[in-house]
Structure 1
């Protein structure tokens, strides 16, 4: 049995040897893919200085010579979005009627909203009040500067990246090919027919559906997904079939506990010439975790069959491999503070679902529910994070620091510590 950090290290070292090709992909299909190139802004955004609203563009200095410092300006022209403004700079004592998004005319430096003005019959505009210099003007490059770094290689792309890319006119990106993955669930007692009436001793195959959902979130191409009965010969035959496919990874759940009659995964892998890297990890849930290299170079993960053991193995072992295969940095935890007490067995790591919320003074508060047996699925309904309790500490109390991770890898909406409260100004 190896320590959990060593297991992660072994997985990452192996996955780093796989060289996934890249492909250029259109903007509409980028969400969920892993960026394979460094993207900088090819132009500024805004691309030109423009008006933030419908109103009148004017020279702020004109208020100094106006009646009672409120401008009374002649309307020179109207500029709509997409139109070219007059070539001549805006003369003193004049303004341009301007619409939202239109190019600010040369010489103008401020915009007053239409509703804060009055226009006379002879084509002059008076202001209800004087805006600040630069009011309602969006300057070129105010949003994104030219050559600004937009996306690093290894970034998991989501819809939040698409709008800036489109606004910059970037049509496509180089992304890593989706890892080609096959999954296997095992067990005579398991059925994937969710509409069936369960027989005595039968259960639904929740691992199959959870694994599919998580792998799709992690931008995998699910090539083959199979449920097998507890039969070693059937398993070996299926492994031979999988070797004929161009796979990067195979993941199975169940049949990995050493010594049990129906736990045949290790023997089946050895029968086809796979190299067992480790079998048994000092972590709960997931002690029977197995990791191997298949003869064709694909990675093999044998996860325990209990639902939370499968979920933890996917979240930490499989996700670590997928990150390494696509040039993503090694995942780092966010340090939180326990709000509850928890004790675990000495000498092993513990992966637990938890709820993280932002506290004051930049603290991340971590609530770890008590009831989390590996056979359960209910903790997944309310958790937003995982916590990893290190093997060298057994008892945790409120205020102790712990390593936390988002429920789903690459989850940008994961809660961050709240900003500290602003002190009230006591000045008179």
Structure 2
């Protein structure tokens, strides 16, 4: 493959999607609370109806809705009170024509009733009678059996990342153990003779390792596990050894630095020799982040990100995060976006997608997206930003005042 045979972002995503999710991830069985944030490996099918009985959602009286039609303040409907259903007890009484049964929120609805009249709209008259001042419709103020889940139906599909409300429906189904996938494991390497560890005093021409820690934080935000493999100098043998070690211990490996054209840039050479299917692309039509390289070797994925921190973060957000967090690129705009008015005109070059860092300010006309200055080597520009906006591939820029979607960090 030629260096910088640039592909569009859409093409890069299609190439990576052919191999994701990677095969071979292990399944584990976990207690319900331990499974929060983990990805279901098998679908969950309801064994019972939830709820298992039709229940009241208000304190009041279970009635036949038809018996309340025409009721009003000046001319209430009078029903005969024939019993009560206590909380947690079966309904041992039946509602017939012209009858009512007292119920509490959560009580079982007795046979014959199809609605609940709120207690606020009634009055006890004595002698076993109750006045109803407002009509109710069939199904009002009750939850029917199986409304949450029907026995035999799939409640949660395989691949669902479990949220707190998902744990709730599982508990309601009596499921206390679930089969989930182990988290994706991601190995992270920094490359380059100029990179030193954060606890070192940089010499002339050296900088501390920013990317490893930024990328590890991003990986963990996605629910995956991150492992740092340190800093590898510009040495083909040492880089090959460390990449091999990281690949053996992880599902994905991310390298930062060493992906641009240069005599000492070895990432592409190492990735090309890892095995089949091999290099997928080298160069993506985005800014920042153009010199991005990706490869697949067997059941492992390897990505080489540019060394500038902003470039590395942008590439992670648009290429890697959707795979780790959602399993595909189908959820790119599902959440985490706000609409804002662009504070000033920004220009772009057609033929690449530009990702612009912005901060959000409150203006007299609502939220404003204010571009944050700084080159792709400046991590502070990310610290000051609240999110990214995109200038599409075919556009030459965006005018001040344009309403834009801000993808929040």
Matches within 5 A, 1:281-360: 281-294=284-297, 297-319=299-321, 322=324, 326=327, 328=328, 330=330, 339-340=341-342, 341-353=345-357
Partner of 2:145: 140
* 2:115 corresponds to 1:110: yes
Partner of 2:167: 162
Instruction: Give the deviation of 1:104 after TM superposition.
Output: 0.8
Q: Is the 8 A contact 2:339 2:406 kept in 1?
A: no
Q: With structure 1 as the length reference, what TM-score do the two structures score? A: 0.72
Distance verdict in 2 for CA 1:94–1:12, change over 3 Å: closer
Deviations 1:68-124 (CA, angstroms, capped at 9, x unpaired): 7435555433322221011x422455432222101111122333334554446x663
* Range with bigger deviation, 348-357 or 93-102: 348-357
* 2:234 corresponds to 1:217: no
Q: Is the 8 A contact 2:124 2:131 kept in 1?
A: no
Partner of 2:197: 191
How many residues are matched? 389
Across the aligned residues of Structure 1 and Structure 2, the Cα RMSD in angstroms comes to: 4.3
SS at match of 1:161: helix
Instruction: Give the deviation of 1:251 after TM superposition.
Output: 0.8
Distance verdict in 2 for CA 1:381–1:97, change over 3 Å: farther
* 2:85 corresponds to 1:82: no
Deviations 1:6-63 (CA, angstroms, capped at 9, x unpaired): 3333322344664535445443233323344455655554432211122232344555
Instruction: Give the deviation of 1:301 after TM superposition.
Output: 1.0
Q: Is the 8 A contact 2:40 2:160 kept in 1?
A: yes
Instruction: Give the deviation of 1:329 after TM superposition.
Output: 5.8
Instruction: Give the deviation of 1:210 after TM superposition.
Output: 2.7
Partner of 2:61: 56
Distance verdict in 2 for CA 1:368–1:64, change over 3 Å: closer
Distance verdict in 2 for CA 1:186–1:110, change over 3 Å: same
> Structure 1: any 5+ residue segments left out of the alignment?
358-364, 409-428
Q: Is the 8 A contact 1:32 1:218 kept in 2?
A: no
Quick one: which of 242, 251, 254 aligns to 1:251?
A: 254
Instruction: Give the deviation of 1:285 after TM superposition.
Output: 1.0
Instruction: Give the deviation of 1:145 after TM superposition.
Output: 5.5
> Structure 2: any 5+ residue segments left out of the alignment?
362-366
Q: With structure 2 as the length reference, what TM-score do the two structures score? A: 0.75
Output the CA distance in 1 between the equivalents of 2:100 and 2:356. 65
Quick one: which of 393, 396, 400 aligns to 1:394?
A: 396
SS at match of 2:285: strand
Instruction: Give the deviation of 1:344 after TM superposition.
Output: 1.6
